[in-house]
Structure 1
Amino acid sequence: MSPLSPRVLIIGAGQSGLYLGHQLLKNGYEVGLITSKTSPEIRNGPASVTQFAFPSTRALEEQAGLDQWRGIAPRFDRVRMSLRAPEQPPTEFSGSFGNSPIARRIGGHAVSVDRRVKMSHWLEYFEDQGGKVYIHGVTPADLEYFVRMYDLVVVAVGAGELGSMFSVDPGRSSGGHERVVTQAILDGVAWDGDQQVDVYSTIGGEVFFTPVLTEHGEATSVTMLANPGAALDASGMAGRDPGPLLAGMQTLLREYLPDVYERIRHLGVGDLVGGRNSLTQTRFTPAVRRPVAELHGKPVLGMADVVITSDPVAGQGWANSTFCAQAYADAIVAHQGEWDAAFMEAAFETFYQERGRHAAVFSDMVHGFWSGQMPEHFGELMGAVLQHQEVADRWIGGFDDPADYERWMFDPRSARDYIASVVEAKAN
């Protein structure tokens, strides 16, 4: 660590904030972290939207010493897609994460750990490793004292007044569209065969079934996504009361996805794992924001959800958070100059070009599927996905490595050349 190494303050105890904190502690930095909740309050609080640690995210967590649920969390290595166009039979395929170089090296499976479990453990471990935790309010007014104690301030809280300090960048897209998310973490969900991520996609929204590790053991997250006012928008279902809201989810599924409804029709409020806190509903509009804001006269750096949020249908939340935090950790360790806005903008640009923009394109691809904006050659791609498992695996592998879509999928000639190479290889 150089003489110019800063004392770093991180605001927010989520995936990105705690990951960055642990990485900087490993490199000998003095790190403080502000959060409004203690670890027991996080552990016993409301659920967040379920996230995934795909193989490449798992690899980063592993090398950071944060893969603490190996052998405990339910593993899955496949995604099954069921596309439901109006008045047509379902189009279904499944694929594996296991063909990317990272997946082959560390294992192609993914895991999902309830955020309450993960963040409370990481926060306690951060203190155990020598990090300083301040339990304090996190509005801009609250932070005047703290920001003067540190050389570099990183904001990892995307909501409320802190998030609003960072202005939207109109020249960039996160692939975001306003979304309503309704989710229940349940025990007793019916599975057909091995557990994996099951995705049901209709013109009215999407439904994810995900195996997840909770404080009470293995469970299933049932996550319903919809544009406001679309068929699977459950926001009008009796507010946040768990009984009517869960019944409302079931009602919508019975009407629009009756076979999916059969998987949870027998479940009630008593099957919510951990009680009413495991049923949640939220609405948000993803966006890309400028990475630098000013807090009490000091430039501060926004990270992860503060500066880029993507549509949850793409499953990139924890990936974006982790890769952004790693990019920032690398930039901080390598930097020898002033901790100014130029440094902050360069650190964000590295992350955005390497990962963020690809996640945005992935989100737009999914949205375009139902809005009629897909390129003409996508009909050929879909035919190849249904005929060739290698193509299906590469399609699903993009959840882990969305940059790969740009290499083979979006350009018609590249897509056709790739499909032809698969057909030729099978013929030989």
Structure 2
Amino acid sequence: MRKILIVGAGQSGLQLALGLQSQGYEVTLMSNRTADEIRSGRVMSTQCMFHTALQHERDLGINFWESQAPRIEGLGVSVAGPESQRVIDWVGKLDGIAQSVDQRVKMAGWMETFAQRGGQLVIHGAAVSDLDFFSRTYDLVLVSAGKGELVSMFGRDASRSPYDAPQRALAVAYVHGLGPRPEHPDFDAVRCNLIPGVGELFVMPTFTTSGRADILFWEGIPGGPLDAFQGIKDPAEHLSLTLELMEKFTPWEYARATKVELTDAGGTLSGRYAPTVRNPIGRLPGGGLVLGVADVVVANDPITGQGSNSASKCAAAYLSSIVEHGDKPFDEAWMQSAFDRYWDTAQHVTKWTNAMLGVPPEHVLNLIGAAGQLQPVADRFANGFNNPADFENFFFDPALTEAYLAEVAGASGASASE
């Protein structure tokens, strides 16, 4: 039986550990926190998972919260114009539902399941020196802990990392009491509010430790008016500032947020990081090799909501690569090929996310505007969040965008510029 060590118990590490366990591998999972510490700790993310990523969980039978989490059926975009009035507002319908489960709930539950199924769970914050030892006792060591000393083993890939500094300041609040969206009170949707030159507000339904909730998530351009959360430690102050900025920049969202309260004392999060692609293979002082997973090797800004989706897709790709490899050694060539398999999908996420961080070109503004008149455009844009590779066909190239809009407008008998 092949022995595999996974360091880091997030979406990718746990999904991969449970997948390998189901295939009969002897898996050790190393986490720096217990399940109870995760469950009672601070929120970790703003996850919204779309159909493909959710299906990976269903395939492994670990979609434990699917019946409890809100069914997200759409994705909407609003654009703020002068005097904080909406100049664009639409919602696209998703082909398959999306869902968000607070990672405190999911990771704690998955960790307990892994241990109950006989997995070796080690609570220890691993250092490089630990991995040097473990690399000699395991057939394969995977690093899925996306922060701290271990990440430094994986060198930055400058050719795939156009930014060397954070492009957004991030601020998250989990709340109860958000009113229904008046434009579509009969179904849930993720809402993306774009404030040109300032940043973005995302609002998404979620399932947390206390049941149904909503996530209010600001992404502010550094140095701008939304970059205001540094140094705020008090959760109540964090929420107050969140709402104050909503009232100023997105009054249509603030109108349904006047009665919200935090889900719990750990329901806020703020920070920033530079989006980075790293080399997938880490070299240990003793000569051993380790393979980076998900955020360790491809860390995108959350502006396109792809973090947990990418983590799930990475775990699924690596699981297939490991199982297909059989009893052959997990050498450097195999590690590179496993990453390349994941990069086939991850490259589209990185390209699209980095594009959304910049100033949108005219043809992209035309596309977002046209979606307000042409429902097929809104639906296709929304479903790109599940399959970012499709953006290659109609988003990046002005000629492709123009041809696509003309085609849809012609089919509907409308003008794309109406």
Per-residue displacement from partner, 1:295-348 (whole Å, max 9, x unpaired)? 343100000010011110100001110111111111111125321222111111
- Give 1:394's aligned residue: 380
Partners of 2:392 and 2:77 in 1: CA distance: 21
Among candidates 205, 211, 217, match of residue 217 of structure 1:
211
Secondary structure of the structure 2 residue equivalent to 1:90: strand
Verify the 8 A CA contact 1:81 1:92 in the aligned structure 2: yes
Partners of 2:167 and 2:75 in 1: CA distance: 24
Q: What one-letter code is carried by the residue in structure 2 that aligns with 1:321?
A: A
Secondary structure of the structure 2 residue equivalent to 1:386: coil
Q: What one-letter code is carried by the residue in structure 2 that aligns with 1:157?
A: A
1:255-270 equivalent positions in 2, closer than 5 A: 255-267=248-260
Per-residue displacement from partner, 1:261-308 (whole Å, max 9, x unpaired)? 3332334xxx211x2211111221110000001234310000001001
- Give 2:278's aligned residue: 289
Among candidates 122, 129, 132, match of residue 141 of structure 1:
129
Partners of 1:91 and 1:421 in 2: CA distance: 21
Cα 1:85–1:164 change in 2 (3 A) is farther
- Give 1:105's aligned residue: none
Secondary structure of the structure 2 residue equivalent to 1:196: strand
- Give 1:378's aligned residue: 364
1:263-278 equivalent positions in 2, closer than 5 A: 263-267=256-260, 271-273=261-263, 275-278=264-267
Among candidates 242, 245, 248, match of residue 249 of structure 1:
242
Q: What one-letter code is carried by the residue in structure 1 that aligns with 2:140?
A: L
- Give 1:300's aligned residue: 290
Q: Give 1:386 shift.
A: 2.0
Cα 1:357–1:112 change in 2 (3 A) is same
Among candidates 326, 332, 335, match of residue 341 of structure 1:
332
Is 2:91 aligned against 1:94? yes
- Give 1:403's aligned residue: 389
Secondary structure of the structure 2 residue equivalent to 1:133: strand
- Give 2:29's aligned residue: 33
Cα 1:405–1:312 change in 2 (3 A) is same
Among candidates 120, 131, 153, match of residue 141 of structure 2:
153
- Give 1:232's aligned residue: 226
Q: What one-letter code is carried by the residue in structure 2 that aligns with 1:338?
A: P
Q: What one-letter code is carried by the residue in structure 2 that aligns with 1:322?
A: S
Is 2:82 aligned against 1:116? no
Cα 1:280–1:412 change in 2 (3 A) is closer
Normalization by structure 1: what TM-score? 0.89
Point out the more displaced range, 356-365 or 168-177. 168-177
Verify the 8 A CA contact 1:208 1:224 in the aligned structure 2: yes
Verify the 8 A CA contact 1:174 1:310 in the aligned structure 2: no
Q: Give 1:380 shift.
A: 4.0
Q: Give 1:418 shift.
A: 2.7
- Give 2:268's aligned residue: 279
Is 2:43 aligned against 1:47? yes
Cα 1:244–1:345 change in 2 (3 A) is same
Is 2:347 aligned against 1:350? no
Partners of 2:413 and 2:190 in 1: CA distance: 32
Per-residue displacement from partner, 1:373-427 (whole Å, max 9, x unpaired)? 52x4335423431221011100111011000010233233333333333234335
Per-residue displacement from partner, 1:173-200 (whole Å, max 9, x unpaired)? 3888432211111111122223321121
- Give 2:355's aligned residue: 365
Q: Give 1:78 shift.
A: 0.4
- Give 2:320's aligned residue: 330
Per-residue displacement from partner, 1:13-57 (whole Å, max 9, x unpaired)? 100001111111122111111011111111111101210110111
Q: Percent identity?
A: 38
Partners of 1:89 and 1:209 in 2: CA distance: 16
Secondary structure of the structure 2 residue equivalent to 1:410: coil
- Give 1:104's aligned residue: none
Among candidates 282, 288, 312, match of residue 302 of structure 2:
312
- Give 1:130's aligned residue: 118
Verify the 8 A CA contact 1:181 1:224 in the aligned structure 2: yes
CA-atom RMSD in angstroms = 2.0
Among candidates 186, 192, 198, match of residue 191 of structure 2:
198
Partners of 1:249 and 1:89 in 2: CA distance: 19
Partners of 2:398 and 2:249 in 1: CA distance: 34
Q: What one-letter code is carried by the residue in structure 2 that aligns with 1:291?
A: P
Partners of 1:401 and 1:16 in 2: CA distance: 18
Is 2:59 aligned against 1:73? no
Verify the 8 A CA contact 1:293 1:301 in the aligned structure 2: yes
Point out the more displaced range, 255-264 or 313-322. 255-264
Partners of 1:266 and 1:217 in 2: CA distance: 17
Partners of 1:212 and 1:285 in 2: CA distance: 26
Cα 1:277–1:382 change in 2 (3 A) is closer
Partners of 1:401 and 1:316 in 2: CA distance: 10
Partners of 1:322 and 1:157 in 2: CA distance: 14
Normalization by structure 2: what TM-score? 0.91
Secondary structure of the structure 2 residue equivalent to 1:198: strand
Structure 2 unaligned regions, length at least 5: none
Verify the 8 A CA contact 2:78 2:86 in the aligned structure 1: no
Partners of 2:332 and 2:2 in 1: CA distance: 15
Partners of 2:287 and 2:221 in 1: CA distance: 39
Point out the more displaced range, 253-262 or 123-132. 253-262
Partners of 2:412 and 2:47 in 1: CA distance: 36
Partners of 2:273 and 2:398 in 1: CA distance: 33
Cα 1:220–1:382 change in 2 (3 A) is closer
Partners of 1:109 and 1:20 in 2: CA distance: 23
- Give 1:166's aligned residue: 154
Partners of 2:223 and 2:125 in 1: CA distance: 35
